[in-house]
């Protein structure tokens, strides 16, 4: 099951630099990153090729880091694709707690990554509707 790392960090210059130094030393590649501001602190969410190693490395260096199961689904890179996928979720009472997406270079596809309460149920719903739900290895190798 794919995982992302959430890092609770003080909202100060250099926070990304410090995190990326740790990851570079461990040869961990960032696939996607989001940063949410909450005043004095924020949350940095990382999608990386080695999430378990990443989380352990960050905690060893004093960062407040956690692993979270996520769902990653391929959608067409066309208008309305995200609406169709989100409609499947809404029609099945799946609440999306957090999300981000990115396009796959050189294709007409995008990846929608999101957090939900029940990952397995959500994956089954999407698969039943014909969506390509990515495994951890498929996602980390993008």
Per-block average pLDDT, block size 10, for the chain (142 residues)? 94 92 97 88 94 97 96 96 96 95 91 95 97 93 83
User: Alpha-carbon distance 63 to 44, whole Å?
Assistant: 11
Tell me the angle at which helices 81-91 and 119-128 cross, rounded to the nearest 10 degrees: 120
pTM for the model: 0.87
pLDDT on residue 39: 82
User: Alpha-carbon distance 64 to 122, whole Å?
Assistant: 28
pLDDT digits (tens, 9 = 90+) for 12-34: 899 999 999 999 999 999 999 99
Tell which residue, 68, 63, 69, has the closest CA to residue 8.
63
> Could you tell me the two tokens for 103?
């396009």
pLDDT on residue 1: 87
Angle at alpha carbon of residue 48, lines to 4 and 59, rounded to 5° = 70
Domains and CATH numbers, the chain: 3-69 (3.30.2130.10), 71-140 (3.30.70.260)
Residue 82 host element (H or E): helix 81-91
pLDDT digits (tens, 9 = 90+) for 71-85: 999 999 999 999 999
pLDDT on residue 2: 95
* Average pLDDT value over all residues in the chain: 94
């Amino acid at each position: 099951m794919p995982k992302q790392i959430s890092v609770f960090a003080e909202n100060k210059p250099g926070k990304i630099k410090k995190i990326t130094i740790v990851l570079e030393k461990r040869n961990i590649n960032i696939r996607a990153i989001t940063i949410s501001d909450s005043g004095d602190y924020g949350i940095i969410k990382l999608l990386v090729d080695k999430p378990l190693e990443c989380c352990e490395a960050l905690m060893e260096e004093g960062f407040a880091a956690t692993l979270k199961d996520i769902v990653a689904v391929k959608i067409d890179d066309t208008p309305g694709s995200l609406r169709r996928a989100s409609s499947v979720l809404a029609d099945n009472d799946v609440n999306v707690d957090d999300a981000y997406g990115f396009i796959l270079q050189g294709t007409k596809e995008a990846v929608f990554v999101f957090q939900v309460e029940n990952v397995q149920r959500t994956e089954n719903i999407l698969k039943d509707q014909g969506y390509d739900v990515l495994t951890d290895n498929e996602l980390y190798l993008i």
